[in-house]
Amino acid sequence: MFNIFRKKSSIPPDGPEQDREFSREQPDAENTGPEQEESRPEEKKEFWGISFSGLKQVVSKTNEFFSENVLSLGQEKEIIDDDFLDDFEEKLIRADLGVDTAIFIAEKLRDSKNNLKPSEVGTFLKNEFRELITGAGSNNINLNQGGLNTFLITGVNGSGKTTLIGKLAYRFSSEGKRVLVAAGDTFRAAAEDQLEIWANRSGADIVRRDNADPASIVFDAIQKAKSENYDILLIDTAGRLHNKFNLMQELGKIKKIIDREAAETLAESILVIDATTGQNGLKQAEVFKEAVDLTCVGLTKLDGSSKGGIVVGIAKELGLPVKLIGVGEKMEDLKDFNSDDFVSAMFS
Ligand SMILES: Nc1nc2c(ncn2[C@@H]2O[C@H](COP(=O)(O)OP(=O)(O)O)[C@@H](O)[C@H]2O)c(=O)[nH]1
Ligand SMILES: [Mg+2]
């Protein structure tokens, strides 16, 4: 009887304590569960990193595409001749590297074809990809430890901006930082509601004024973030307006406000690209490049995409490093990008 009582009484203190821990680590408690446990890689080094086996899983379709369509050439042919080079170039274009990038790499292979066997093309590609990706700059998110860090998020409609902001808010909140989000997409119906849901889940605060001028919302958010000592300000923007001119104008106004009011706090200007759009994503980037100064790319929906080769095109054609990858729709499905691991996972 006494033992039973002791056993029973030892449960409650642990229970709520665990729940508290859990909800602090995982603000989106409702969305967590066995399903998330499964998707979480076992040997990862840190929460926002991704294990090699996890990354391999994410890029498995890209990996499959390369081995079936590009690397297979090495097995089919005896020598690297003009036919081989034509096929090689065409397959790289089909792999969504971006046309210029595909041509550039094929030309490099042409230059070194006398020293290479077809079976060595995989190693050649791996080295080229690594060189191009690292050439675009560091893959680490820029963060100033003391003071405000502003992140401007742009990209076409549906690319995953709001989701990326929600995941970033969760990430920074769980690191103990105070996070404010600005609902700068007033064009799309319910965009502000969607952002508010993400903010609530992650414990971030929001500045929203539906139907107001996005630049004035950004202005208010900057003032609030500064006067109330927030660590992080995440600015959401519209990805589509009535026409390209309007979109450029709106983004230009937001950029002006940031330049005037918070230039020194701008940590990253992130272009969000949907990995499933492949080369179209590169074309869409031009508008945003013109309208705001971009510092890096957040590549979303990499899970399930066979177009992961776009990372190379982003580096070569946009000159931007990928710093974050979206690997699913849940809060923790935003990972740091590591170029070495990524290229290895694409080819192993
Ligand atoms: N599978 C997957 N879906 C994503 C990812 N990021 C965003 N999405 C989904 O893409 C859709 C559009 O995202 P949203 O953030 O609203 O795009 P926005 O219009 O740019 O703000 C939503 O259904 C998201 O759940 C990702 O990394 N993986
Ligand atoms: Mg949105």
> Tens digits of per-residue pLDDT, 63-96?
999 999 888 888 888 889 999 999 999 999 999 9
Contact yes or no for 315/328 (Cβ under 8 A): no
What is the model's pLDDT at position 75?
Answer: 83
Mean pLDDT of 117-127: 92
Is it the case that residue 182 has pLDDT exceeding 80? yes
At 55, phi and psi to the nearest 5? -65, -40
Q: What percent of the chain has pLDDT over 70?
A: 86
Mean pLDDT of 131-150: 95
State both tokens at 329. 């729709």
Q: Please state, rounded to an integer, the average pLDDT across all residues of the chain.
A: 86
Rounded distance, CA 141 to CA 155, Å? 18
- How many whole angstroms from 120 Cα to the centroid of ligand 2? 44
Domain boundaries, the chain: 60-135, 149-294
> Tens digits of per-residue pLDDT, 45-69?
466 889 999 999 999 999 999 999 8
Rounded distance, CA 108 to CA 29, Å? 51
Strand partners for 96: none
Mean pLDDT of 292-302: 97
Rounded distance, CA 169 to CA 203, Å? 8
What CATH number has the domain spanning 149-294? 3.40.50.300
What is the model's pLDDT at position 323?
Answer: 98
What is the model's pLDDT at position 47?
Answer: 67
Mean pLDDT of 146-159: 96
> Tens digits of per-residue pLDDT, 229-287?
999 999 999 998 778 889 999 999 999 999 999 999 999 999 999 999 988 999 999 89
Is it the case that residue 2 has pLDDT exceeding 90? no
Q: Closest ligand 1 atom to the C-alpha of 194?
A: 16
Lowest mean pLDDT segment, chosen from 189-193, 201-205, 217-221, 293-297: 189-193
Residue closest via CA to ligand 1's atom 25 equals: 329
- How many whole angstroms from 144 Cα to the centroid of ligand 2? 26
Rounded distance, CA 60 to CA 64, Å? 6
Neighbours of 23 (CB within 10 A): 13
Neighbours of 67 (CB within 10 A): 15
Is it the case that residue 193 has pLDDT exceeding 60? yes
Is it the case that residue 28 has pLDDT exceeding 80? no
Ligand nearest to the CA of 163: 1
- How many whole angstroms from 131 Cα to the centroid of ligand 1? 30
Rounded distance, CA 337 to CA 251, Å? 26
* pTM of the shown model: 0.86
What lines the ligand 1 site, CB under 6 Å?
Answer: 155, 157-163, 239, 272, 300-301, 303, 326-329, 333
Contact yes or no for 170/28 (Cβ under 8 A): yes
**Fold for the domain defined by 60-135:** Four Helix Bundle (Hemerythrin (Met), subunit A) (1.20.120)
Is it the case that residue 13 has pLDDT exceeding 60? no
Residue 74 sits at the vertex; the CA angle it makes with 73 and 76, to the nearest 5 degrees, is 60
What is the model's pLDDT at position 26?
Answer: 37
Q: Tell me whether domains 60-135 and 149-294 share a fold.
A: no
